[in-house]
Amino acid sequence: MRHLLLTLRYRGTNYHGFQVQQNALSVAQVVQDAVEAVFGARLDVKGCSRTDAGVHANRFALALRTESGIPCDAVVRAMNVRLPEDIAVTGCREVPEEFHPRYSCTGKRYLYKIYNSPVRDPFLSGLALHWKYPLDENAMDAAARQFIGTHDFAAFCSAGGSVEDTVRTITAASVAREGALVTFSVTGSGFLYNMVRIMTGTLLEVSRGALAPSDIPRILAGRDRAAAGPTAPPHGLYLDAVFY
Amino acid sequence: MRHLLLTLRYRGTNYHGFQVQQNALSVAQVVQDAVEAVFGARLDVKGCSRTDAGVHANRFALALRTESGIPCDAVVRAMNVRLPEDIAVTGCREVPEEFHPRYSCTGKRYLYKIYNSPVRDPFLSGLALHWKYPLDENAMDAAARQFIGTHDFAAFCSAGGSVEDTVRTITAASVAREGALVTFSVTGSGFLYNMVRIMTGTLLEVSRGALAPSDIPRILAGRDRAAAGPTAPPHGLYLDAVFY
């Protein structure tokens, strides 16, 4: 039995996240349809994470087991013929039997993109949060750096997450501007439910002066979701990298 | 009577070009609906050009006449509240009575974007031509520069154009690569029907070696549409600037 790891890139606008759901089209369901056409059987696919509706992936990893001998480069080509234009398989390699795309993962990087301009950009509709008022990316960057380290992120977790342990390690976090695009980049060992979106909502509170960068350690220590900022909408969020 | 010039930016994917058409949604129709809501009357809007279905605009200009005293910055804000996410008004200014967005135009710049990579990019679906095989951007650039000057572009004009005079002046033309994105940029006094898309199709023939850059003067001189390359699809084309 071969164990294949496929990397995907997808625009999440038309999907209710990665995970298969009843009565809603998911990325996994569309991928499984293509897998069935390519491998001749409906195979189970295991993803590296659930993503929310409207969230994008520059790099997402999923694994499947097959008896098929089809070479990896042919898998990439055949899958891309069958997938819709908003999903692409970017790579395929064999992994050991015990590999698990979620539990073998040593870290992930997320980006949150904000288009900061009085007038929206029609080409970024669904691809970045549009923010009309001036953003202070320096204050946001100073606040983002307060997330670095091993902390209890209970204040940055939406109800509905099933985990008990809310301690996570963030290895890199920063905010940078390129023209009108302000991007929050955060890398860590793992992330809680809605964690990056709540971090982003909190950075936006810092930008408008409602919170200071120095408030972040206090919010972390308080473990109170209500002390952090609102949950930023999904369409600015990108799973950017998965590390194994 | 005030005469207002509005600049637009739009993603053309969902529209059958700028011009109002029967049984097909056009950018002009959607703009006229917003104009009616903002100005309280269904006003005629005159565009700087017709664009084909699926073609985009980084900058498009249209003019309208109104008795309304609503200030220009308020026009921009009010229009953007009413327009869908794939169209934005980026500016508004008053122009003289005799101004015409099409006939007062001294030149235009178009871009044609090609995503050159074995695997498509889901984020560029509808926004760039996907070209799987290696492109020779240096040969394409050498060929593009042959378009510069005043020439009869009859070989680069689709049937269906109504003009008799097919002489146009191209002031700049080049091809450049930025990573996987290969962009043809062309500026001129005016363009014939499908001219930039046929130029692009011809540059693609040069890239694959079916034509040489030195063939361009011969194709221009021959005035035979069949000697030029195929018409590249609309979704890579952007009206990038309109000069007055």
Q: Which of B50, B16, B92 is nearest to A119 (CA)?
A: B92
Number of domains in chain A: 2
Of B10, B134, B3, nearest to B75 (Cα)?
Answer: B3
Instruction: Answer whether residue B100 is part of any domain.
Output: no
Q: Which of A56, A125, A133, A178 to mutate to test the interface with B (most CBs of B within 10 A)?
A: A125
Q: What is the pLDDT of residue A132?
A: 95
Using the beta-carbon criterion (under 8 Å), do A127 and B125 form an inter-chain contact? no
Given a cut of 90, whether residue A221 has pLDDT beyond it is yes
* pLDDT tens digits along A179-192: 999 999 999 999 99
> Across residues A82-108, what is the average pLDDT?
95
Is B18 within the bounds of a domain?
A: yes
Higher pLDDT, A166 or B21: A166
Q: Are residues A154 and A234 in the same domain?
A: yes
Chain A residues with CB under 8 Å of B119 CB are 9, 76, 80, 88-90
Contacts of B80-85 with CB under 8 Å at 24 or more apart are B80/A119, B80/A120, B82/B33, B82/B34, B82/B37, B82/B38, B83/B30, B83/B31, B83/B34, B84/B30, B85/A120, B85/A122, B85/A125, B85/A126
Model confidence at A164: pLDDT above 90: no
Looking at the fold, whether B112 and B197 belong to one and the same domain comes out as yes
Please tell me the distance from the alpha carbon of residue A87 to that of residue A101, in angstroms, as a whole number.
Answer: 19
Q: Does A72 touch chain B (CB under 8 A)?
A: no
Tell which of A41, A67, A94 closes a domain.
A94
**Nearest Cβ partner of B122 from A9, A122, A123?**
A9
- Each residue of A30-53: pLDDT tens digit? 999 999 999 998 899 999 998 889
Q: What percent of chain A lies above the pLDDT cut of 90? A: 90
Q: Return the pLDDT at A160.
A: 67
- Could you tell me the maximum CA-CA distance found in chain B, to the nearest angstrom? 58
Task: Determine contact, residues A151/A191, Cβ cutoff 8 Å.
Answer: no
Which residues from chain B sit within 8 angstroms of residue A87, using beta carbons? 122
Query: According to the model, what pLDDT value does residue A162 have?
Result: 65
> Would A99 be classed as within a structural domain?
no
What average pLDDT score do residues B60-85 get? Answer: 95
- Cβ within 8 Å of residue A34, ≥6 positions away: A79, A82, A83
| pLDDT at residue number B161 | 59
Q: Are residue A121 and residue A215 in the same domain, yes or no?
A: yes
CATH number of A127's domain: 3.30.70.660
d(CA B156, CA B166): 9
Q: Which residues of A touch B7 (CB under 8 A)?
A: none
pLDDT of residue B159: 78
Instruction: Clarify whether residues B32 and B133 are in a common domain.
Output: no
B10 inside 8 A of chain A by CB: yes
Percent of chain B with pLDDT over 70: 98
Structure confidence by residue, pLDDT tens digits, B108-120: 999 999 999 999 9
- Is residue A89 less than 8 Å (CB to CB) from chain B? yes
A110 is an annotated ligand-binding site residue? yes
Q: Are residues A22 and A141 in the same domain?
A: no
- Chain B (114-143) residues lying within 8 Å, Cβ to Cβ, of chain A: 119-123, 125-127
Q: Is residue A100 part of a domain?
A: no
List, for residues B125-184, the tens digit of each pLDDT value.
Answer: 999 999 999 999 999 999 999 999 999 999 999 876 566 899 999 999 999 999 999 999
Q: Can you give the residue range of the structural domain that contains B122?
A: 107-243
Assess whether A184 and A86 both reside in one domain.
no
Is residue A239 situated within a structural domain?
A: yes
- What pLDDT was estimated at residue B236? 98
Query: How far apart are the CA of B88 and the nearest CA of chain A, in angstroms?
Result: 6
Candidates A136, A144, A135; CA nearest to A216 is: A144
- On whether both B21 and B124 belong to a single domain, the answer is no
Residue B242 has a pLDDT of 96
**CATH (domain of B65):** 3.30.70.580
Residue A59 within any structural domain of the chain: yes
User: Which residue's structure tokens are 């206090």?
Assistant: A218
**Are A124 and A236 members of one domain?**
yes
**Are A118 and A237 found together in one domain?**
yes
Which residues of B are the active-site residues? 52
Last-in-domain residue among A94, A115, A131: A94
- B72 CB near a chain A CB, below 8 Å? no
What is the DSSP code (8-state) at residue B114? E
In whole numbers, what is the pLDDT of chain A averaged over residues?
Answer: 94
- B81, B132: one domain: no
- From the number of C-beta atoms within 10 Å of its C-beta (0-12, 13-18, 19+), residue B28 rates as buried
Do B205 and B111 lie in a common domain?
yes
Tell me the per-residue pLDDT of A122-161, one tens digit each, with 9 for 90 and over: 999 999 999 999 999 999 999 999 999 999 999 999 876 5
A89/B119 CB distance under 8 A: yes
Q: Are residues A141 and A86 in the same domain?
A: no
* Chain A CA closest to residue B13: A123
pLDDT the model gives residue B22: 77
End of a domain among A71, A94, A117? A94
Residues of A in contact with B11 (CB under 8 A): 122-123, 125
